[in-house]
DNA sequence: ATGGCGTACACCGTACGA
């Protein structure tokens, strides 16, 4: 079973890339972030024609998340239960694995935080705390649970192209990294780090200053899996290919492959 | 030290991302 995540930075602009990528990478589920479109503009018909069911939580201009899946999404949950938030950053659904076992999948667009110490930074940390509280319950209900998305946190210096330049800043500050570790401590693994990986593997590169060409990036898009699910993970990779296409998203897809029982 | 680029909304510039 293959699960993937991709911050597309506008599904309107990137629909062609999504379809092309799915054609070449027919994953079982693809979590999307930053749709930047309202619910009624979600292109569910063209995705269905491409072989994918979908559930989504859209919003005009900003945010917005979706799960595209080969099997119909069940028990769809929008937002973090009990956490009042107009920003559409979470959607969850239960999918059916090739072996018939249910797998709970969450598509997450964690807040950016803008600048350490800002209001948006405080919101980011508060949001992570709410996410942790919810996942602490969700992990009990769903032994096979994966949280895929743009975490807007580079967990370690090896996930940063220039750790000295970024030290203490947004996306790498200690409280943000602690919030990420707090999620792991619930019983999740960062599937990317289950394996030997090429050094300087990133998932986002700044549009500015030719970030991609210089590989000046960060690894901020992650696939977290419960211990049970992680034990069946065979591979986790970043696909830089679409980052080289014309008018790319600034993020690349991350894909995790799971062995079925 | 700043802004670089890209997207959305809608103004002809601003907000935001990371």
Instruction: State which residues between 73 and 92 of chain A bring their CB within 7 Å of strand B.
Output: none
pLDDT given for residue A212 in this prediction: 95
Count CB-CB contacts under 10 A for residue A260: 11
- The Å distance, CA of A261 to C1' of B17, is 40
A13-47 b/e with 16+ CB inside 10 Å = b?
Answer: ebeebbbebbeeeebbbbbbbbbbbeeeebbeeeb
What are the pLDDT digits (tens) for A179-205?
999 999 999 999 999 999 999 999 999
pLDDT given for residue A186 in this prediction: 98
What are the pLDDT digits (tens) for A35-67?
999 999 999 999 999 999 999 999 999 999 999
Is A250 annotated in some ligand binding site? yes
pLDDT given for residue A261 in this prediction: 64
- The Å distance, CA of A226 to C1' of B9, is 40
- CA–CA gap between residue A57 and residue A177 (Å, rounded): 27
Assign domain A2-258 to its CATH architecture.
4-Layer Sandwich (3.60)
Q: Annotated catalytic sites of A, by residue?
A: 109, 150, 251
CB A223 within 8 A of CB A254: yes
Is A99 annotated in some ligand binding site? no
Q: For strand B, is any atom closer than 7 Å to the CB of A222? A: no
- The Å distance, CA of A187 to C1' of B15, is 37
pLDDT given for residue A74 in this prediction: 98
Q: For strand B, is any atom closer than 7 Å to the CB of A41? A: no
The residue assigned the tokens 């799960």 is A67
Q: For strand B, is any atom closer than 7 Å to the CB of A112? A: yes
The residue assigned the tokens 């970030």 is A211
Which nucleotide is at minimal CA–C1' distance from A34?
Answer: B17
Average pLDDT over residues A146-152: 98
Is A9 annotated in some ligand binding site? no
pLDDT given for residue A87 in this prediction: 96
Average pLDDT over residues A103-109: 98
Q: For strand B, is any atom closer than 7 Å to the CB of A115? A: yes
Q: For strand B, is any atom closer than 7 Å to the CB of A27? A: no
pLDDT given for residue A176 in this prediction: 98
Given pLDDT bands bounded at 50, 70 and 90, which one contains residue A159?
very high
* C-alpha distances in Å from residue A137, one per residue of A27, A73, A78, A130, A241: 27, 20, 16, 11, 37
- The Å distance, CA of A187 to C1' of B17, is 30
Helix (H) or strand (E) holding A120: helix A119-141
Given pLDDT bands bounded at 50, 70 and 90, which one contains residue A209?
confident
Given pLDDT bands bounded at 50, 70 and 90, which one contains residue A260?
confident
- CA–CA gap between residue A134 and residue A106 (Å, rounded): 12
pLDDT above 90 for A82: yes
CB A14 within 8 A of CB A242: no
What are the pLDDT digits (tens) for A210-241?
899 999 999 999 999 999 999 999 999 999 99
- CA–CA gap between residue A101 and residue A152 (Å, rounded): 31
What are the pLDDT digits (tens) for A11-36?
999 999 999 999 999 999 999 999 99
């Amino acid at each position: 079973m293959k699960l993937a995540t991709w911050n597309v930075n506008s599904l309107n602009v990137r629909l062609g890339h999504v379809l092309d990528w799915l054609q070449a990478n027919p994953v079982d589920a693809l979590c999307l972030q930053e749709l930047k479109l309202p619910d009624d503009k979600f292109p569910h018909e063209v995705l269905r024609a491409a072989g994918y069911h979908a559930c989504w939580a859209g919003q005009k201009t900003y945010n917005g998340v979706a799960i595209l899946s080969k099997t119909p999404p069940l028990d769809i949950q929008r937002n973090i239960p009990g956490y009042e938030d107009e920003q559409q950053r979470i959607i969850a659904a239960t999918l059916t694995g090739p072996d018939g076992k249910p797998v709970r999948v969450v598509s997450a667009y964690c807040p950016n935080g803008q600048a350490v110490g800002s209001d948006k930074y405080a919101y980011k940390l508060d949001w992570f705390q709410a996410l942790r509280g919810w996942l602490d319950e969700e992990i009990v209900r769903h032994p096979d649970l994966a949280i895929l998305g743009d975490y807007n946190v580079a967990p370690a210096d090896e996930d940063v192209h220039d750790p000295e330049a970024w030290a203490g800043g947004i996306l790498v500050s200690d409280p943000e990294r602690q919030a990420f570790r707090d999620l792991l401590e619930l019983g999740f693994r960062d599937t990317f780090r289950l394996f030997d990986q090429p050094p300087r593997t990133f998932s986002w590169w700044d549009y500015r200053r030719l970030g991609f060409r210089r590989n000046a990036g960060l690894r901020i898009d992650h696939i977290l899996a419960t211990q049970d699910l992680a034990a069946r993970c065979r591979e986790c990779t970043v696909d830089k290919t679409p980052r080289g296409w014309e008018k790319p998203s600034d993020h690349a897809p991350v894909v995790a492959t799971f062995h079925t029982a």
